[in-house]
């Protein structure tokens, strides 16, 4: 059993401890003895730095013999310098003095060490310690702390990661387009949206950047970027272990081990994560619990330091998900404009079938097709940082893979309408980024780089959609008795072979010109080249063998042969200009105008038909063209408080959207361009550290996202079967975007006390998340709105100074029933399904580190 393996993960032993003459290691704590994670440790005068891990441990090496000075800086603490005259005094115990006038978070998004408050970019930073404390072990949980992020996942492939409502197509994924939100782990770009559903492994910090970032990152990002940094190998021994147990059979185990392999030269780190949970939905036909969690992941790193100017990191990772999921529950039935005999309730009545429940929150299904979501990702990367002059030259080379093995019941019932729906795929990518970041003069700094990516995505070996014995009744579009011809559609389906090969290249750069000490001007530019080659071939098979032209015509109304090829390439210039002005010591203002674009899209899910012929003009769609404006201010109005505000406006021409069609043969919808979309809004973020025992964070976002012009959109579900198949939805809301979203959280702790014979603290933490209603359909439908909801998570326990902590927790404390997403069933017969939010869960967590 996989879950039994989780208990083997922490059984690791390290046998050597670093004692090289120029390595300084130790632990960083506050005045109460609590560890301070993510502290920056800088060798003054060298530019060389290290980041303390989640338990305050650090290790930094210098080729320069003592004396030299280490500078320690962390959020909420005064900068602290320590002169090192003898490295044999290591390990050090550093106590940082608290400063309630500072709340600084160190980031690397602009490819250099700086504080978030000084960066003219709207950015949310979540530290690894906060990720662990709040149980935000994947992006779907992290979004509860960053309200500008939207993530929707009906399965790993069909995952949408958006920022401010922009980035990827909502609800359904088409492999032929690029995501608009960059997802990076240690500088490596992850091209497939399925990566966002995996468990985080040994995360140091997550930076969420909002707005286009194409002049800073290798891959073009039209809506923002996730920049995830993992904990690095250290030259002092460290081991951490965490185990959690909860209701519904929840088990999660994590462990990480780091230490030296060769004195002063080579250090290693290996980390594991495993999560298991029983299903939350009951299949009354089989008695099984569906929608389990079954995740395993591992990450290994080697750090080689041949000199104080060169760091080389070799990393490898592998993650697997093998759940019985993601099953969806019928949430409602809509009366469409089709004839009475074509309505869902009449169809199932004629077939003698009843849904197991009409209440989605009974969490009951009777699906007769296996739900499976085999999701495997992994890869290797080599990162070289070489200090040259007043900057650093960085090379990041990576190769990654994705294997996808699904099975779905796309009719969401116990009837054999669609008996098979399996889009097995394999994807490989390679990336290469080379950039230089540093100071070019006393008033000019910046970053310049080149980036290349190659991708190969193909079916493995084919994508299959196959009908069952009830398909005839759901597809029946006339009163002809021929529809009920025995065996006409049984086993009738399509097998699709497709291959998408892409190449992208870019040159990018951004300067920071200090006109005065208060006024900075930051121009940036990017040149992109993109090429896509597609070979798509879909063939029908099975069903009743017949030469009757009338029966053949009926079969072709359900599935038909399609094939096309495409070979497109393009290049594009984009850029940005930011002006930042430090109005006062504690006030930093900025204004940005930028342009960006998303490459041409190609349809890989089947094309809609007209007069029985595929609409080949939809085989490819136009690139997106983005214009973005933003103004903001980052402030520290009083001691311990940061308060940041931003106002933004984005216009997108030829917005790439994925739309649903009534045709069963158009798997997961098809791509289309909306002529124009606009998004505007305002955001407020606050962090307040009142004292050693109380701190909180809060964020609120207002977002208004609409189609300015979409004149040829498919009709919403309730208008299916009307006089027109398309509709002008100009002025309608973009899907997946709540006008209001917010988060609030904090932690309260006691002063140090004697607890079970050790010094430590009692603590209580809470996190709340709210969002208003949002459309869950690309063409707004009065039936497909998700009501607003709020959820509350709490935790309470003890945290000892010897590295041990123990606490209980509950997520969705008040057991709120809510939908995460609503989806129309294939064929638009009137039923729609839901991805359900988890009900109340609770458990305990034990964590230990040294």
pLDDT in tens, 671-714: 889 999 999 999 999 998 888 788 889 999 999 999 999 998 88
pLDDT, averaged across the chain: 88
Which pLDDT does position 250 carry in this prediction?
Answer: 96
Cis peptide bond N-terminal to 469, omega within 30: no
Burial of 682 (0-12, 13-18, 19+ CB in 10 A): middle
With beta carbons less than 8 A apart as the criterion, state whether 620 and 566 touch.
yes
Which pLDDT does position 113 carry in this prediction?
Answer: 73
pLDDT in tens, 201-219: 888 888 899 999 888 888 8
Which pLDDT does position 204 carry in this prediction?
Answer: 86
Identify the band that residue 666 occupies on the pLDDT scale cut at 50, 70 and 90. low
Q: At residue 801, does pLDDT exceed 70?
A: yes
> Residue 36 — φ and ψ, nearest 5°?
-115, 100
Q: At residue 11, does pLDDT exceed 60?
A: no
Helix-then-strand count for the chain, H and E:
6, 53
Q: At residue 104, does pLDDT exceed 70?
A: no
Q: At residue 8, does pLDDT exceed 50?
A: no
> Residue 515 — φ and ψ, nearest 5°?
-60, -45
CA angle, residues 235, 228, 588, in degrees to nearest 5: 105
Cis peptide bond N-terminal to 67, omega within 30: yes
With beta carbons less than 8 A apart as the criterion, state whether 687 and 718 touch.
no
Phi-psi region of 119 (alpha: psi -120 to 50; beta: other; left: phi over 0): beta
As a whole number, mean pLDDT of residues 255-266 equals 91
Q: CA 305 to CA 313: how far, in whole Å? A: 9
Q: At residue 7, does pLDDT exceed 60?
A: no
> Residue 45 — φ and ψ, nearest 5°?
85, -5
Short-list 769, 771, 791, 672, CA closest to 729: 672
pLDDT in tens, 277-327: 999 999 999 999 999 999 999 999 999 999 888 999 999 999 999 998 799
Which pLDDT does position 106 carry in this prediction?
Answer: 65
Bridge partners for 592 per DSSP: 578, 630
Segment holding 837, helix H or strand E: none
Which pLDDT does position 419 carry in this prediction?
Answer: 92
Identify the band that residue 141 occupies on the pLDDT scale cut at 50, 70 and 90. confident
Identify the band that residue 16 occupies on the pLDDT scale cut at 50, 70 and 90. very low
Which pLDDT does position 679 carry in this prediction?
Answer: 97
Q: At residue 19, does pLDDT exceed 70?
A: no
Which pLDDT does position 120 carry in this prediction?
Answer: 84
Tell how strand 224-230 and strand 181-185 pair up.
parallel
- Specify the higher pLDDT residue, 491 or 666: 491
Which pLDDT does position 585 carry in this prediction?
Answer: 83
Q: At residue 21, does pLDDT exceed 50?
A: no
Which pLDDT does position 613 carry in this prediction?
Answer: 76
As a whole number, mean pLDDT of residues 126-154 equals 85
Which pLDDT does position 313 carry in this prediction?
Answer: 96
pLDDT in tens, 503-556: 999 999 999 999 999 999 999 999 999 999 999 999 999 999 999 999 999 998
pLDDT in tens, 44-61: 766 567 778 767 888 887
Q: At residue 760, does pLDDT exceed 90?
A: no
Of 9-18, 220-229, 734-743, which has the strongest mean pLDDT?
Answer: 734-743
- Specify the higher pLDDT residue, 119 or 540: 540
Which pLDDT does position 81 carry in this prediction?
Answer: 84
Which pLDDT does position 175 carry in this prediction?
Answer: 84
Which pLDDT does position 668 carry in this prediction?
Answer: 55
As a whole number, mean pLDDT of residues 392-419 equals 94
Which pLDDT does position 18 carry in this prediction?
Answer: 33
- Specify the higher pLDDT residue, 451 or 37: 451
Identify the band that residue 5 occupies on the pLDDT scale cut at 50, 70 and 90. very low
As a whole number, mean pLDDT of residues 168-175 equals 79
Which pLDDT does position 105 carry in this prediction?
Answer: 67
Which pLDDT does position 123 carry in this prediction?
Answer: 87
| CB-based contacts of 756, cutoff 8 Å, min separation 6 | 798, 800
| CB-based contacts of 237, cutoff 8 Å, min separation 6 | 14, 16, 17, 18, 258, 259, 260
With beta carbons less than 8 A apart as the criterion, state whether 253 and 9 touch.
yes
As a whole number, mean pLDDT of residues 624-647 equals 92
Q: CA 450 to CA 205: how far, in whole Å? A: 25
pLDDT in tens, 331-349: 999 999 999 999 999 999 9
Q: How far is CA 67 from CA 94, 309, 412, in A?
A: 18, 18, 70
Q: CA 80 to CA 71: how far, in whole Å? A: 6
| CB-based contacts of 115, cutoff 8 Å, min separation 6 | 104, 105, 106, 107
Residues in the chain: 850
Q: What is the pTM of this model?
A: 0.87
As a whole number, mean pLDDT of residues 78-89 equals 78
DSSP three-state, residue 434: strand
């Amino acid at each position: 059993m996989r879950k039994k393996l989780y208990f083997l993960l922490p059984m690791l032993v390290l046998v050597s401890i670093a004692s090289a003459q120029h390595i300084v290691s130790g632990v960083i704590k506050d005045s109460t003895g609590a560890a301070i994670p993510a502290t920056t440790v800088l060798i003054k005068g060298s530019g060389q730095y290290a980041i303390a891990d989640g338990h305050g441990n650090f290790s930094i090496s210098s080729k320069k013999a003592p004396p030299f000075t280490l500078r320690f800086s962390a959020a909420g603490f005064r900068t602290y310098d320590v002169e090192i005259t003898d490295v044999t005094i290591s390990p050090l115990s550093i106590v940082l003095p608290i400063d309630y006038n500072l709340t600084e978070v160190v980031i690397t998004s602009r490819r250099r060490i700086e504080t978030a408050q000084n960066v003219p970019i709207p950015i949310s930073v979540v530290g690894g310690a906060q990720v662990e404390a709040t149980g935000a072990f994947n992006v779907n949980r992290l979004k509860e702390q960053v309200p500008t992020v939207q993530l929707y996942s009906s399965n790993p492939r069909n995952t949408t990661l958006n920022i401010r409502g922009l980035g990827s197509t909502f609800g359904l994924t088409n492999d032929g387009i690029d995501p608009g939100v960059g997802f990076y782990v240690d500088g490596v770009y992850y091209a497939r949206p399925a990566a966002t559903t995996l468990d985080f492994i040994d995360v140091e910090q997550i930076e969420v950047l909002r707005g286009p970032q194409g002049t800073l990152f290798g891959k073009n990002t039209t809506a923002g970027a996730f920049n995830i940094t993992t904990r690095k190998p250290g030259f002092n021994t460290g081991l951490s272990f965490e185990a959690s147990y909860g209701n519904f059979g929840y088990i999660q185990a994590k462990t990480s081990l780091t230490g030296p392999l060769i004195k002063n030269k080579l250090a290693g780190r290996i980390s594991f994560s495993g999560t298991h949970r029983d299903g939350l939905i009951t299949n009354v036909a089989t008695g099984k619990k569906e929608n389990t969690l079954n995740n395993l992941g591992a990450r290994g790193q080697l750090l080689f330091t041949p000199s104080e100017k060169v760091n080389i990191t070799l990393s490898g990772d592998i993650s697997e998900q093998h759940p019985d999921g993601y099953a969806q529950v019928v949430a409602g039935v809509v009366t469409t404009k089709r004839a009475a005999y074509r309505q869902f309730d009449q169809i199932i009545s004629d077939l003698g079938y009843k849904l197991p429940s009409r209440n989605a929150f009974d969490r009951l299904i009777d699906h007769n097709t296996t739900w499976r979501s085999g999701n495997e990702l992994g890869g290797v990367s080599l990162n070289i940082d070489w200090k040259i002059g007043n900057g650093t030259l960085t090379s990041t080379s990576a190769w990654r893979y994705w294997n996808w093995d699904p099975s779905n019941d796309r009719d969401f019932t116990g009837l054999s309408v669609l008996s098979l729906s399996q889009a097995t795929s394999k994807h490989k990518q390679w990336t290469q980024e080379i950039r230089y970041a540093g100071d070019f003069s006393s008033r000019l700094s910046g970053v310049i780089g080149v980036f290349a990516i190659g991708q190969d995505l193909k079916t493995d070996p084919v994508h299959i959609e196959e009908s069952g014995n009830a398909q005839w009744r759901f597809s029946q579009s006339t009163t002809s008795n021929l529809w009920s011809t025995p065996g006409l559609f049984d086993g009738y389906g399509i097998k699709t072979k497709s291959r998408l090969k892409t190449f992208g290249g870019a040159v990018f750069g951004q300067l920071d010109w200090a006109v005065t000490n208060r006024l900075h001007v930051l121009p940036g530019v990017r040149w992109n080249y993109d090429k896509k080659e597609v070979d798509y071939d879909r063939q029908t098979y099975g069903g009743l063998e017949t030469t009757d032209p009338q029966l053949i015509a009926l079969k072709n109304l359900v599935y038909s042969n399609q094939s096309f090829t495409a070979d497109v390439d393009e290049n594009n210039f984009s850029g940005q200009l930011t002006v930042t002005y430090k109005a006062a010591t504690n006030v930093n203002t900025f204004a940005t105008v930028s342009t960006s674009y998303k490459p041409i899209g190609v349809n890989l899910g089947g094309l809609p038909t007209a007069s029985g012929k595929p609409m080949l003009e939809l085989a490819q769609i136009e690139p997106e063209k983005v214009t973005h404006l933003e103004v903001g201010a980052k402030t520290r109005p009083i001691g311990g408080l940061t308060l940041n505000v931003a106002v933004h406006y984005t216009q997108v021409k030829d917005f790439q959207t994925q739309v649903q069609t009534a045709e069963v043969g158009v798997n997961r919808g098809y791509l289309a361009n909306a002529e124009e979309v606009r998004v505007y809004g305002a955001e407020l973020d606050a962090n307040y550290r009142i004292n050693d025992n109380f701190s909180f964070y809060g964020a609120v976002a207002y977002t208004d996202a609409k189609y300015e012009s979409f004149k040829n959109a498919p009709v919403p579900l309730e208008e299916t079967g009307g006089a027109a198949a398309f509709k002008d939805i100009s002025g309608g809301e973009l899907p997946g975007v709540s006008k209001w979203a917010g988060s609030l959280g904090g932690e309260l702790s006691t002063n140090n006390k004697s607890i079970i014979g050790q010094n430590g603290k009692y603590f209580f933490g809470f996190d709340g998340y709210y969002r208003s209603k949002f459309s869950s359909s690309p063409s707004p439908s009065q039936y497909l709105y998700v009501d607003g909801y709020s959820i509350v998570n709490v935790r309470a326990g003890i945290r000892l100074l010897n590295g041990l902590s123990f606490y209980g927790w509950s997520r969705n404390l008040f057991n709120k029933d809510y939908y995460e997403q609503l989806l129309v069933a294939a064929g638009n017969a009137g039923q729609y399904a839901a991805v359900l939010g988890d009900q109340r869960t609770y458990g305990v967590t034990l964590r230990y580190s040294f």
